[in-house]
Amino acid sequence: MNEPNRTQWQIRCAFNGFCKQALKREAMNAHRDTKRQQSREVTFSDLSPLEESQLVTYDKYFADDEAEQSFIIPYKNI
Q: Is 1 within a domain? A: yes
pLDDT of residue 78: 58
Q: Is 70 within a domain? A: no
pLDDT of residue 77: 65
Q: Is 18 within a domain? A: yes
Global confidence as pTM: 0.50
Domain containing 29: what range?
1-40
Q: Is 31 within a domain? A: yes
Domain count, the chain: 1
Average pLDDT by stretches of 10, the chain with 78 residues = 76 96 98 95 87 79 61 66
Number of C-beta neighbours around residue 78 at 10 A: 3
In terms of C-beta distances under 8 Å and separation of at least 24 residues, what long-range contacts does 15-21 make, across chains too? Answer: none
